[in-house]
Amino acid sequence: MNVQDTEYAAILDSLKTAVLLINRMQQISFINSSAEEFLQISNKQIKGRLIIDIFENKELLENCFSRISENGGAIVIKEVALKTDHDRRLIVTCSINPLKNSATSEKMFASIELITENRFSIIENIISDNPVNLQNGQRLIQGMAHEIKNPLGGIRGAAQLLSANLSSRADKDFINIIVHETDRLADLVDRMSGYIEDKKMLPLNIHRVLEHVYKLLNSDKPESVSLKRDYDPSLPAVTGSQSSLTQAFINLGLNALQAIDKDGVITIRSRLAYGTIINNKQYKQTVRIDIQDNGYGIDDSIKNTIFEPLISSKTKGTGLGLSISKEIVAAHQGKIEFSSKAGLTVFSVFLPVSGG
């Protein structure tokens, strides 16, 4: 099917984002008007050319296509360099999406959306050093926070009313999770909007955090997935924010869930580590938390950028979870490391012990 002879061409041409369609031979079949303007080349001129010819890192793109062919998931990669016929070098964020269940899917393989960096810097530009812009940015974020917190309050209230009419302990436990999670999200929104400037760092038992994460993952996982705990009950306390650390480990756990087959295994492990070096400082003792899975492993093409925002190879991934987790752990003077191969991926979080 010729894309230009269908209604899809008109739809794509109406978009402000540059979009390219790629066939199964990895040839460019169509680019929309925004892509023509961005690349400074016409659809007629570029049609039939190999997509890898306009990418500087050909190996990265080929790895992405292979991953899409195997798993069917979308991939987002930041800071991709393109080269044009006019010797222009363009840096973009590239969103590669497999085409499924569409009239063009028999011949089309994927769509590629080219997103310029200014798409991701709107709020950053608003809250620049200019005091007026800073105030406008704060108002914007606080307005968004208000809109988010309203439904959270409704969810919390409804959950509490529901709990009052339940007799089953198991059902009440699930309701408590809902209440706890809405409180945690409300707290996160408050911190993002500037209502709370500093999080209280207090000594805490890391297993309280891990048990809450375990319950959340256990309620979210398919029945066939095995979720295991391997704790060292003698671990000393760490200093931190319970809600923030919960968020960090939830992100790592969900990342593992998305990486395994329906019969996969995830293990949450806690151990005491000695002599850990974090930011050029050696700690006598640290608490080490491993989130281990036996999934597909991390693609080599994104291992070096796995903690950067918008880096993901998962169908429903946003590419933000690992980045957020790294920032939270860093705020606790800790670090995250990982090792990955097919069948064994381990994310390890190291946190200094209290008073250590």
Verify that 217 and 271 share a domain, yes or no: yes
Better pLDDT: 233 or 187: 233
Verify that 127 and 170 share a domain, yes or no: yes
Confidence bin at 7 (pLDDT 50/70/90): low
Name the average pLDDT for the chain.
Answer: 77
Verify that 265 and 339 share a domain, yes or no: yes
Verify that 204 and 353 share a domain, yes or no: yes
**Of 197, 218, 250, which closes a domain?**
197
Verify that 125 and 55 share a domain, yes or no: no
C-alpha pair distances (Å), 83 with each of 22, 57, 96, 144, 285 = 17, 10, 18, 38, 49
Q: What is the mean pLDDT of residues 165-181?
A: 76
- Confirm if 312 and 278 have CB atoms less than 8 A apart: no
Confidence bin at 124 (pLDDT 50/70/90): very low
Verify that 41 and 173 share a domain, yes or no: no
228, two tokens: 């295991």
pLDDT above 60 for 142: no
How many CA atoms lie less than 13 Å away from 43 in the CB half-sphere? 18
Residue span of the structural domain in which 208 resides: 200-356
pTM as predicted = 0.52
Verify that 146 and 114 share a domain, yes or no: no
The CA distance from 210 to 218, in Å, is 12
The CA distance from 276 to 287, in Å, is 10
Please name which of 232, 249, 252, 231 lies closest in space to residue 240, comparing C-alpha atoms. Answer: 249
In angstroms, the first-to-last Cα distance of the chain is 66
Verify that 218 and 347 share a domain, yes or no: yes
The order of strands in the sheet holding 108-116 is 28-31, 18-23, 108-116, 89-98, 75-83
CA dihedral 71, 72, 78, 84 (to 10 degrees): 120
**Of 61, 89, 120, which closes a domain?**
120
Verify that 115 and 128 share a domain, yes or no: no
pLDDT at 206: 96
The CATH number of whichever domain residue 9 belongs to comes to 3.30.450.20
The CA distance from 26 to 45, in Å, is 16
The CATH number of whichever domain residue 340 belongs to comes to 3.30.565.10
**Of 70, 90, 120, which closes a domain?**
120
C-alpha pair distances (Å), 228 with each of 10, 223, 270, 348 = 51, 13, 12, 16
C-alpha pair distances (Å), 105 with each of 3, 75, 97, 100, 102 = 11, 18, 12, 6, 5
pLDDT above 90 for 223: no
Verify that 128 and 77 share a domain, yes or no: no
Total domains in the chain come to 3
Strand locations in the chain, DSSP E? 18-23, 28-31, 75-83, 89-98, 108-116, 202-204, 226-230, 238-240, 265-278, 281-293, 335-341, 344-352
Better pLDDT: 189 or 237: 237
| Least confident interval from 102-106, 131-135, 250-254, 275-279 | 102-106
